[in-house]
Structure 1
């Protein structure tokens, strides 16, 4: 692949594909010539089309008909494969429903194509086996399902974009609008940074440079079946601000300290102290989003008397300082004129 020619982009449509990501990717990647992005002398960097199991209208999960331009059976070559967001039902992802598309994507990769997923599109691409032992990202709510279905894949839901493979040819983007990061990355890679910046300005696209940790909610695993740990979690949900929550949980459990900490970590996947910190920071995030309280007061309310320690801990967990988090994620007050 070279930047001197137009690259063919195949955006895969499935019955359970979300159309917002699909059409967003198409709009941007096909806009360069139409909107004059990158100048008019060079050929446009991409030509994107929707492909699927069969050409023709496909009714998507959103109830919107999707015009599939080409069937994969008739497409012998492409440069970039993109699987947009997939909506998982209550039963989760079921393998083996689209064998012809999985086989085609594998064959395109063998011929040199990039395989890209936006959000949950990785569920389909992971069936190729090409992502085993690779680092990927996915919507944080889908991460446990992906890990259960594909245990050989290394998942980083806090990351907005991951690039893997010997040719940097396996590319995954995380939750929801991180398709912006995917499209901007591909544009920068094949058309240059200045063109990517121009596209970002034109469409108000944004890099999620802070990752996705600020968006992620910590609820704590509760399906472990350990009654002692479950009781400690229930008590902690109402008593997390107390001065010594871990020590009090140990006493309430009636177990030896080492035994309780081991059982808690085995059951929830995190240590009791880390669990307390995550619960406290979640409450701090909500207060920063919805109240006028000072950062110091919020730290005190969730259990930290030392404001400096609270700020350091908040940044370590979310990637942002409390003040920056409030500016970015505060629920805006919408005013109307009289």
Structure 2
């Protein structure tokens, strides 16, 4: 039987993550009972205090065991913990060394949404792919440059460490874990029972691009503003370098360091973000939107749009436009 430890943090944590994980793993046990099989998961709520109340005071959870008493476990789940990272790390100081110890003893680790920040703080994500809520991607990259953030992914897996993207995408990772430990048939049944798309892998359709602007590079900030104000025209790297009076190689290096995007990627993402907003309004055709954001080639626009959003412009309009729903 696989022992699963669901961590109950101090602070303002995601009740949905905790209850959802607890319910879905125990659903598998119930399903096994219906087909005369023994349960395969022992799900336990663990914490650093015997009672953990959210900072807003609405909910209190009583962990079944304290982490200091858990000498061995097979899988640890870290929910999203909201609020100031430094304050939360201080409040949950016992968590990180315990995670490292358990991982070194063979435990697998799972983080949901912004819980990835706490997993990264342990150092265990250095050199490994991971995901988090797309809204916090720039902040995550700045804080944990050694982790390999894949903010377009709903989930990642590397060497026994699993992470999920934003909000309710944790359910997709849960289905993935159920499939891994209980098989495809059970995972399909769980996806149907909980009405979860079993094979969804990308959070790109839901991402809203906001350029990284917390850096202090004035010339790059000016270039970013110029791109965002002139996205409907053809913008070249040489033009941006000329405006900034910075040599091209230096400009490209500084731009990538500051924004986590190449110049071309940034231009494309700004244009596609503008296109997404127009398509969501639903009042214009795809071609009209394409021309408005500075594209003249239908195939090029479609390819870039699909690369960034994981959907075609038409599919995106049909899914998100109020006029088509």
TM range (shorter): 0.7 to 0.9
Aligned partner of residue 62 in structure 2, secondary structure:
strand
* 1:253-279 residue CA offsets vs partner (Å, 9 max, x unmatched): 456666655654554343433322111
Q: Which residue of 2 aligns with 1:73?
A: 68
Q: 1:31 aligns with which of 24, 27, 30?
A: 27
User: Which residue of structure 2 aligns with residue 101 of structure 1?
Assistant: 95
Match of 1:3 in 2: none
Given the superposition, is the C-alpha separation of residues 268 and 9 from structure 1 closer, same or farther in structure 2, using an over 3 Å criterion?
A: closer
Superposed CA RMSD in Å reads: 2.8
Unaligned runs of 5+ in 2: none
Question: Is the Cα contact below 8 Å between 2:282 and 2:324 reproduced in 1?
Answer: no
Distance 1:132 1:256 in 2: 33
Task: Confirm or deny that 1:64 pairs with 2:55.
Answer: no
CA distance in 2 between counterparts of 1:202 and 1:175 reads: 22
- Aligned CA distance change for structure 1 residues 298 and 37 (closer, same or farther; 3 Å): farther
The structure 2 residue matched to 1:46, chosen from 18, 41, 44, is 41
Q: 1:332 to 1:195 in 2, by over 3 A?
A: farther
SS of 1:141's equivalent? Answer: helix
Residue 183 (structure 2) pairs with residue 192 (structure 1): yes
Contact in 2 for aligned 1:136/1:156 (Cα 8 Å): yes
Give yes or no for the alignment of 1:132 onto 2:126: yes
* Structure 2 partner of 1:113: 107
The Cα of 1:11 is off from its aligned counterpart by 0.5
Cα distance, 1:253–1:205 mapped onto 2, change above 3 Å: same
Tell me, what secondary structure is at the counterpart of 1:142?
helix
Moved more, 130-139 or 291-300: 130-139
Quote the Cα distance in structure 2 between the aligned partners of 1:32 and 1:333.
Answer: 38
Q: Equivalent residue for 2:144?
A: 150
Distance in 1 (CA, whole Å) between partners of 2:201 and 2:108 is 25
Give the number of the structure whose residues are more often helix, by fraction: 2
Q: 1:88 to 1:331 in 2, by over 3 A?
A: farther
Aligned residues: 323
TM-score of the two chains, using structure 1 as the length reference? 0.84
Q: Is the 8 A contact 2:172 2:200 kept in 1?
A: no
